[in-house]
Structure 1
Amino acid sequence: MSLGICLLSQIPGRAEPDDRAEIVTQILFGESFIVLKKNKKWSYVQLTYDNYKCWICNKQYKIISNQEFDNITGAEQIACTSDLMGFVRIENTSIPIVLGSTLPNFDGEKGSIDNMEYTYDGSIIMASKKSFNKQNIVPTAFKYLNAPYLWGGRSPFAIDCSGLTQMVYKMNGIKLPRDAKDQAKVGESLSFVEEAQPGDLAFFDNQDGEIVHVGIILEGNRIIHASGKVRIDQIDHQGIFNQEIKDYSHKLRLLKKVV
């Protein structure tokens, strides 16, 4: 078993070891993982942040030592980038990275990964569960407004509904599972839309009763969610009402207070 880290802006995580396979998630810069098995071209990995499993290309990641892996995963708080886009400078090259990326062993000016020193001159958030402030959830979510929808996406240039909620909470020190159906198992259930506060999560199901969508509650019976793009719509006890089509686009299943 080996350990790895993403040193690119993002690595596509696929359902199968094939370039044409479904992208089920994205691994962002600084996120680490366990390599469970490996062939000539592909590695099957388990992400340490959310335990998600996927296939990634061997050319797109770096193996790290056990000690470095422990340093990264054992940190009580993580430095997350808070700019839409920035550049990490490492070993005489620049790597473009996106909002919500992780900066391992970062002291505010420089960091290191397995004795490779790097710098980042953009803005960061020191995210930890201890410093969680629910009032920061909505402003963080607004950073993703109008990001195009992409199944499996976790970046401001391509994101899905559960990727949005996971990334917003990540930058505020709270870990959520990758998929909406698993996020729905976290936190305290709320009975009414009127009871929900900004930052709480709303989940929506399909005709078979399966959780297939999630969004973040805003003030004024509104919700921010990824559907076509990250957008704001009205929500009531029935679900999300889309003013453009003058109809409900998603059927409300449950509401959750995460923290």
Structure 2
Amino acid sequence: MRGDGRVLVSSGRRAGALFLALLFGLLAAAACALVAARVAGADEVRAGQTAFVDVQAATLWTEPYQARPDVDRPSLSNPTGLTSWASRMTGSQKGWLIGKTQTQALYGEPVRVLDTYGVWARVAVPSQRTPKNRAGYPGWVPMAQLSTQSGTAIGGREFVQVVKKHALLYDDRALSRVDHSVSFGTRLAVTGRAAGKVRVESPKGDDDWMDLRAVEVYTSAAQIRERSKPTPLKVAQRAAMFRGTPYIWGGTSSYGLDCSGFTYQVYRSFGINLPRDAQDQRDAGRAVGGSRVKGDLLFFGPSPSNITHVAMYYGDGKIVHAPYGASRVVVEDLRSSGRMSSYQGTRRYL
């Protein structure tokens, strides 16, 4: 019996050694493939640079290499597959993202590179105000999702802002060859026009075409509020356009939104740049002591200094919001939403 036992132990050790060798070989191959993809498909990214998001929306992670290789792969690639990422995750898989993802930056959006680690870059999004970092909202993204083409910056140039839930970029002026879709709120520099169409510059410096009906054209960020003339009704109507959009922790794109990412993007589209997070949005608004109007933001949480949710007043006692539990943006009755027990006030921004 002891002899048989030693043979089994020895065989088991050899099998275990072979398994470990195979595992390390696979990991090494995967690492090499990732590095090769990085070298072949992305610009060199260094700390101190300004880079530009080269995917539909770059998800910023709390730590590098934190994402799940299987579940989160569609959010890490270039191009991304954000629609499939949001639709395929179970409730528990979405819940895992809490505290792991920070925010998102849209296609063409400039980011400041703070640090690098392997094939990851720690960046800050200047347009997203936060006390977390003076440079902008911080987090880690795969370098392959960034471009360092300096000509991409809008600067003082004319630009488009997407005002549909999604818009298509085309390779040709005839709008017959679709390149990919982009999110509501995406801003890209204009390089030319044709009847009912506009040519825009991609983060890589190439030209794409868009249907003018999907965008608004501006010459400066300050002009957005002046020309869009936001009213309570307009803000609420634009917010309702997102009904059915999936909930994603940290989401700011129309492929997936969290509660404050939703309110941030709606107001930003009217030239009103709220802070990124719900607590800071509450602190930035004017307190509403009387009747609510459409577009007002309602805040919820254990205390005024611990806000955990934000919703927009839709009118007639209803709110439109991106609640974690509902998994999608919904319009519902405020009283029956079950949230009034944690209500911490209403704020106004118009």
* Bucket of the pairwise TM-score, normalised by the shorter protein: 0.7 to 0.9
2:179 matches 1:94: yes
Residue by residue over 1:86-119, the C-alpha shift from the partner in whole angstroms, topping out at 9 and shown as x without a partner, is: 3223599812212222223366611225753221
Classify 1:210/1:78 alpha carbon distance in 2 versus 1 (closer, same or farther; 3 Å).
Answer: farther
Residue by residue over 1:110-165, the C-alpha shift from the partner in whole angstroms, topping out at 9 and shown as x without a partner, is: 12257532211251134712233123211110111121211111223311100110
TM-score, length of structure 2 as denominator length: 0.64
User: Which residue pairs with 1:171 in the alignment?
Assistant: 269
Q: Higher strand proportion, which one?
A: 1
8 Å contact kept, 1:81–1:124? yes
1:81 Cα offset (Å): 1.3
2:216 matches 1:118: no
2:325 matches 1:234: no
User: Which residue pairs with 1:39 in the alignment?
Assistant: 117
User: Which residue pairs with 2:164 in the alignment?
Assistant: 83
Secondary structure of 1:210's aligned partner: coil
User: Which residue pairs with 2:346 in the alignment?
Assistant: 255
Residues paired across the two proteins, number: 245
Let me know the Cα RMSD of the aligned residues: 2.5
Secondary structure of 1:104's aligned partner: strand
8 Å contact kept, 2:190–2:198? no
The aligned amino acid for 1:15 is T
The 2-side partners of 1:63 and 1:165 are apart by 29
User: Which residue pairs with 1:49 in the alignment?
Assistant: 127
Match of 1:133 among 216, 227, 230: 230
The 2-side partners of 1:214 and 1:183 are apart by 9
Classify 1:248/1:212 alpha carbon distance in 2 versus 1 (closer, same or farther; 3 Å).
Answer: closer
What does 1:179-194 align with in structure 2 at a 5 Å threshold? 179-192=277-290
User: Which residue pairs with 1:159 in the alignment?
Assistant: 257
1:255 Cα offset (Å): 0.8
Classify 1:15/1:106 alpha carbon distance in 2 versus 1 (closer, same or farther; 3 Å).
Answer: farther
The 2-side partners of 1:253 and 1:208 are apart by 6
Stretch deviating more after TM superposition (54-63 or 125-134): 125-134
User: Which residue pairs with 1:203 in the alignment?
Assistant: 299
The 2-side partners of 1:115 and 1:28 are apart by 16
User: Which residue pairs with 2:312 in the alignment?
Assistant: 216
The aligned amino acid for 2:299 is F
The aligned amino acid for 2:329 is V
The aligned amino acid for 2:199 is K
8 Å contact kept, 1:8–1:96? no
8 Å contact kept, 1:34–1:45? yes
Residue by residue over 1:35-91, the C-alpha shift from the partner in whole angstroms, topping out at 9 and shown as x without a partner, is: 1111221111111211211111001110132x653xx2556x852212332322359
8 Å contact kept, 1:79–1:106? no
Classify 1:112/1:182 alpha carbon distance in 2 versus 1 (closer, same or farther; 3 Å).
Answer: same
The 1-side partners of 2:50 and 2:185 are apart by 22
The aligned amino acid for 1:82 is V
The aligned amino acid for 1:119 is W
Secondary structure of 2:226's aligned partner: coil
1:202 Cα offset (Å): 0.9
Q: Higher helix proportion, which one?
A: 2
The 1-side partners of 2:183 and 2:118 are apart by 29
